[in-house]
Amino acid sequence: MPETHPAPSFQPPRRPWRTRLFGRPLATADAPHQTIGKGLGLAVFASDALSSTAYATQEILLVLAVAGTAAFSYAFPISGAIVVLLLIVTISYEQTIHAYPDGGGAYIVARENLGQLAAQVAGAALLSDYILTVSVSVSSGAAQLASAFPALYEYRVLLAVSLVAFVMFINLRGVKESGRVFAVPTYCFLAMMFVTLGVGFWRYALGGLGQVVDPPPLETPHELASISVFLILHAFSNGTTALTGVEAISNGITAFKEPRSHNAGVTLAWMSAILAILFLGITFLAVHVGAIPSEGETVISQFARTAFDGRGLAYLAVMATTTLILVMAANTAFSGFPRLSAIQAADGFLPRQLTYRGSRLVFSRGIVVLAIASALLIVAFQASVTRLIPLYAIGVFLSFTLSQAGMTRRWSHMGRSLDPPRGWRWKMALNGLGAVLTGLVTMVFAVTKFQEGAWVVLLVLPAFVLVFLAIRTHYRETAEQLSLQHYGAPPQSGRHRVILPISNVHRGTMEALRYARALSHDVTAVHVSLDSSESERLRAKWDLWGDGVRLVVLDSPYRLLLEPLLDYITSIADERQPNETLTIVVPQFVPRRSWQNVLHAQTALFLRLALLFRRGIVVTSVPYQLAEP
């Protein structure tokens, strides 16, 4: 029987440059100490939802603008309807948090109640939405900065990509570290926005809040459109971007301190209340001061300089904190994407590597994947919020719908049990209403935004699901072929034949020969001859050092190296007997410096790649480390 030994006490690995960049490595036992409380949780998971107040109002006005400024009066009622929807979604996710305290949000709810296909649709929707969250929020942050400093406008793409790299770097340092770094900007933003709203409403009550001075021109078609149901629904769908990020807390419950569900639920309630107040307040005052939606100057910028009578320190503080919170909004995605992708990877629908935690106990590979994908989107769409918004929010509302439909079914099953929970009927009704409303919003978004680019998302989501299913199929087939079931008796030792390719006779060759002789007495050295005189010298040297091992010299008149060797190995492999293993032992000397590898032929690597898919052939390299001269 196998012996069990106590685990040795390990010291943290020595990684000086990584330690300076990312902090000291954390042991697995440190995981409970890396959880966060409600205060940091609001900064980590709510920044996306809270930051959406910086552009949601502008997106509503942008649609209404085609009917002229008179249509702006509809903005506040539309915002009110969105806040009602926010309330329903919040209550639904409160139930999800307590029902599924291990996190996973819509993905887990759909998997447990609606099946794997629905779960993969939810996963695809959320992962694509997280990528778009980073792209939209960082692009919006760059736009806010360009509004305050117009000279930066032409550098907005480079600025946005740099900000993505910065947020990635902070998140690689760990959840607790990123929470501490991003808490200050988040709370500074909230403080400045509440001060701005307070000043705005105070001046409005006193009748001293005027109109925007020198607003940007209103870009409208030559013939104004009429106010229609379609226009209102279009503006409503644009404004629902304010709800993106609401689901993030339910995905990351495990990041909270115990009691996790309670702390996550309280944080969700705080976030929704703050979001509703800011969204309604900004929309009301922005319409009152006559703010004009524009790529050149954001609505927040116009509202802030009107409230503070110019571009003074207070205005600059608003713009600075708004820019920071928009960049911090990407942090919500950097918290949610790696966790969700790790759950899907554990289920076998994404590469297993995404389940690995880095040295700082974060899913570092998921963080890097998110950064690369969002940076590519920013470059492709030139950091334009208006161009990215049509791709946004379909995914998150689809996940809302699946989550609430799953919770509805859950309450239905529990209601038919012998001991149904109290209040299951009204909970089922609330989740059912939420599923219907968010489903309608998803369809409205798909229809109203279809020509503007939403068709891309409608194609990408099924493509993601097909990729997930293909990955799952591969893992299942691999597991079946590796299974020991019906394998029979343990393998018996058989005949072992060794081929030793050599280009010269040196110390590395001698090390490989010693290893080959330890494997088998049937060893054949093979040399590919490119020069007859060099081959003669090698024969003479081998007669002296080869210890009687036979040498085969392959002529290569066309100066090919790998092809003759592969042909020889293939011919031997085709003639091998049952239960015979053919091993290719390749000598490899290892330079002291890694960059020096490019100065030498990587024969072992190319040989391994060439023979990788041949059964019954083992390729192994015997390294010989070169010492310092």
The residue type found at 364 is S
Per the CB < 8 A criterion, the answer to whether 188 and 324 are in contact is: yes
pLDDT of residue 601: 65
DSSP 3-state percent helix, strand, coil across the chain (nearest 5): 70, 5, 25
Give the pLDDT band (50/70/90) at residue 222.
low
CA torsion through residues 219, 217, 76, 298, sign: positive
The residue written with tokens 């299974």 in the block is: 483
Range of weakest confidence among 76-85, 321-330, 341-350, 490-499:
490-499
The whole-number average pLDDT for the span 521-545 is 90
Other beta carbons within 10 Å of 422: 7
Higher pLDDT, 1 or 315: 315
The whole-number average pLDDT for the span 588-601 is 72
The whole-number average pLDDT for the span 137-166 is 83
User: 471 pLDDT exceeds 90?
Assistant: yes
User: 3 pLDDT exceeds 60?
Assistant: no
Higher pLDDT, 172 or 350: 350
pLDDT of residue 336: 81
pLDDT of residue 266: 92
The residue type found at 512 is A
Sorted by sequence, the CB contacts under 8 Å of residue 17 that are 6+ apart come out as: none
Sorted by sequence, the CB contacts under 8 Å of residue 199 that are 6+ apart come out as: 307, 308
Say how far apart CA 346 and CA 406 lie, in whole Å: 21
pLDDT of residue 542: 93
pLDDT of residue 577: 78
Q: Indicate the domain borders of the chain.
A: 38-414+427-476, 495-625
pLDDT of residue 5: 46
Q: Check whether the bond before 259 is cis (ω within 30° of 0).
A: yes
The residue written with tokens 């006559």 in the block is: 290
Say how far apart CA 399 and CA 133 lie, in whole Å: 14
Per the CB < 8 A criterion, the answer to whether 245 and 90 are in contact is: no
The whole-number average pLDDT for the span 66-94 is 89
User: 17 pLDDT exceeds 70?
Assistant: no
Tens-place pLDDT, residues 402-431? 988 999 999 898 888 888 888 888 889 888
pLDDT of residue 488: 67
Say how far apart CA 585 and CA 583 lie, in whole Å: 6
DSSP-assigned beta bridge partners for residue 554: 528
The whole-number average pLDDT for the span 185-192 is 89
Three-state DSSP class for residue 335: helix
Q: Which fold has domain 38-414+427-476?
A: Amino acid/polyamine transporter I (1.20.1740)
Other beta carbons within 10 Å of 90: 21
Say how far apart CA 43 and CA 598 lie, in whole Å: 47
pLDDT of residue 2: 46
Range of weakest confidence among 158-162, 175-179, 507-511:
175-179
User: 350 pLDDT exceeds 60?
Assistant: yes
Q: Which fold has domain 495-625?
A: Rossmann fold (3.40.50)
Per the CB < 8 A criterion, the answer to whether 300 and 144 are in contact is: yes
Tokens standing for residue 131: 């990528």
